[in-house]
Amino acid sequence: MSREYTLQRAPHATAINIDYAAELNEQQLAAVTAPPGPLLVIAGAGSGKTRTLTYRVAYLLENGIDPRNILLLTFTNKAARQMLDRVANLLPVDASGLWGGTFHSIGNRMLRRHGSALGYSSGFTIMDREDQKDLIDTVVAAAGINPKEIRFPKGDVLAEIFSFVVNTETPIDALLAEKFPYFLPLLEQIKDVQARYERKKKSTNSMDFDDLLEKTLRMLKEHEHIADFYRRQFQFILVDEYQDTNKIQADFIDTLAAEHRNVMVVGDDAQSIYSWRGANFKNILAFPQRYPDAQVFKIEMNYRSVPDILRVANAAIAANVQQFRKQLSATRPTNSVRPAVVGLNDGSEQAQFVAQRILELRDEGVELNEIAVLYRAHYHAIELQLELSRRGIPYVITSGVRFFEQAHVKDVTSFIRFIANPRDEVAFKRMVKLLPGIGNKSADNLWRGWESSLNERGEITSWGERLLPLPVGVKSKKSWEQLAHTLDEIAPGGQPNPPSEMIMSIVEAVYDDYAKANFTNYELRREDLNQLAAFARQFKDVHEFLSQLALISNIDAEPALDQTADNEAVNLSSVHQAKGLEYHTVFVIWLTDGMFPSTRSLETRDAIEEERRLFYVAITRARDELYLTYPHMRLNAGYGDMFQRPSRFLKEIPPQLVEDWQVRRG
């Protein structure tokens, strides 16, 4: 007997309708409310790119799309969180099912679920670059290569080579020919090391950062049922900063979107400045060729800068041949101060000018942290740092070691990584080498003993029962017993305690004495570890904690620590690190041929166009005032003063758009 069953229409997700026409300008509105299908949104600097993406997500949800069917890909986890928080403020819906995050964090989630298809267990370790280097060094030694006999690349150089191979999908021989030609005679040995490295990662249940994408993409291509599962799930894919994607990221998007093709990519080709780390400018340029039915939207209304600065920006990028042409237009009124081009005698006078003008701006009411000095390379700021110090002007340099990559943080987390994945050779060796009397050779021997124990006896119920029988020297005996006791304390019966508790136990029982004996700034490092424990309180699960640690370490650079106790400080930054930021006043210094653009870039059109995009990014960081400076001379090692030509980029700006400042000494 049959039974009739009626499906009721699901209640509408929202009781509030957003007035999109009131909230967005015409260009943003067209992109946000576009029908399904491939969409390319060219969003100029300061045009509300994030707003457009956020409202697109809200528009999809308001039109009945289940949050679980939306994938939002960004370049930092912070950017994804901010967008989803904004969506939550716009609509009274639970969007927690929406997948949002970096490419690598999404790859990590997929591999934790389905990585067994590639032979990985869900508890795999994510190595950062230093761990990767250590494991490669181990592989090189096992391959019988003696770096003293031949000039073989070190572990960190090999890691860079392997990373480029993965991210650009370039064969290793072609990559060496292009970037490392001096290693071509060693091609076969490097290939052998790469193959051994892949096998070693598999046997230690470890992945490096690039594997999170490469293995995910391979899994999707080799296992059709897994690819089908995610293609069905992700009906709408939205991608932020698409101009910064590399080859493998573009392939990942195309693979997931192959069925429904509802993919919206948002970016600005004029701000593509990361080819040196594998980003492929052609991804955004060729999107209309890969998706011939794609709608292309341009968002050119700029909410950041005054018209005078935007006219300079438009002129600065005009000479580039490879681009989607657009004209930024201002929403703000004009300024009384026109952008200035300032020629100085030398680097020292340039520094004096910048420092004096900063003090004048401060007197005019502009806060120091609203002022930035941008440059092509960090060494360009040496003279300026001296001058600012002499005048007592506080400043912050956006560089330095990221918090999670500092030695003491990695030392402590090696204990937790080992608990989470007892086959993690890198973590085991880092941990035991902290103990007195244990060096590389002892660590190798202990690892072999530990590995044999794992293979013979399987599951761990007592760390001490496994560790204590291993042979250690007399000098290490007491600390070895303490290590075994600590591991049993933080993971009784093999089950890890919450990460925060583990960190405090490790520090108090083992690491504190080591830190006192090895670091002159012990108190500062101890404070860092206390902060790490505080950060870890938000995680109950050790695998989630370690995944986040690795992802933050590799993607979300921590802000540099202030070099001064002052809360207010001038920002000194390379243009690359300033992308995405904005300031009241921007100085762009060392605008001479060979400095900006750099000497290396003068050889090819592609390279000079990327430098021009970099110049465009620098200009568009400024809201109200812009100073473009260049010294006529610079000191060159061994040759005395050298004349400098003003940057070719300055010559491309019509003189009527800028004010020429003649600087004289008082």
CA distance between the termini of the chain: 102
264 has a pLDDT exceeding 60: yes
β-bridge pairing 329-330 and 340-344: unpaired
| Of 585, 595, 577, nearest in space to 644 by CA | 595
User: How many Cβ atoms sit within 10 Å of the Cβ of residue 560?
Assistant: 15
Q: Could you report the per-residue pLDDT of 588-622, keeping only the tens digit for each? A: 999 999 889 988 888 888 899 999 999 999 999 99
Active site residue 26: no
| Of 328, 235, 250, nearest in space to 285 by CA | 250
pLDDT band at 635 (very low <50, low <70, confident <90, very high): low
pLDDT of residue 106: 95
CA distance 499 to 487: 13
Phi-psi region of 573 (alpha: psi -120 to 50; beta: other; left: phi over 0): beta
Q: Which of 429, 621, 623, 634 is catalytic?
A: 621
pLDDT of residue 660: 94
pTM, entire model = 0.78
172 has a pLDDT exceeding 60: yes
pLDDT of residue 528: 77
237 secondary structure, DSSP code? E
Active site residue 271: yes
Helix (H, G, I), strand (E, B) or coil at 133: helix
Q: Could you report the per-residue pLDDT of 103-140, keeping only the tens digit for each? A: 999 999 999 999 999 999 988 999 988 899 899 989 99
pLDDT of residue 537: 82
Q: Could you report the per-residue pLDDT of 437-489, keeping only the tens digit for each? A: 888 999 999 999 999 888 887 788 899 998 999 989 888 888 899 999 999 99
Active site residue 50: yes
Q: Which of 210, 214, 241, 268 is catalytic?
A: 241
Q: Cα–Cα distances in Å, from 103 out to 110, 183, 238, 596, 619?
A: 11, 31, 12, 32, 29
Active site residue 326: no
Alpha helix segments (H runs only) across 433-521:
440-457, 463-467, 474-490, 499-506, 512-518
Q: Which of 49, 410, 613, 634 is catalytic?
A: 49
pLDDT of residue 423: 93
Q: Which of 27, 54, 249, 271 is catalytic?
A: 271
pLDDT of residue 149: 56
459 CB contacts (<8 Å, ≥6 apart)? 494
Q: Quick one: average pLDDT of 218-238?
A: 96
Q: Quick one: average pLDDT of 187-215?
A: 94
pLDDT of residue 219: 97
pLDDT of residue 603: 82
Q: Quick one: average pLDDT of 302-324?
A: 94
555 has a pLDDT exceeding 50: no
Q: Could you report the per-residue pLDDT of 37-74, keeping only the tens digit for each? A: 999 999 998 898 889 999 999 999 999 899 999 999 99
Output 526 or 560, whichever has higher pLDDT: 526
268 secondary structure, DSSP code? -
Mean pLDDT value across the chain: 88
Q: Give the residue carrying structure tokens 């703000």.
A: 332
Active site residue 202: no
Q: Which of 240, 308, 424, 611 is catalytic?
A: 240
Active site residue 241: yes
346 has a pLDDT exceeding 70: yes
Q: Quick one: average pLDDT of 335-353?
A: 91
CA distance 45 to 41: 13
Q: Quick one: average pLDDT of 86-109?
A: 87
pLDDT of residue 630: 96
Q: Which of 33, 50, 385, 564 is catalytic?
A: 50
CA distance 635 to 379: 13
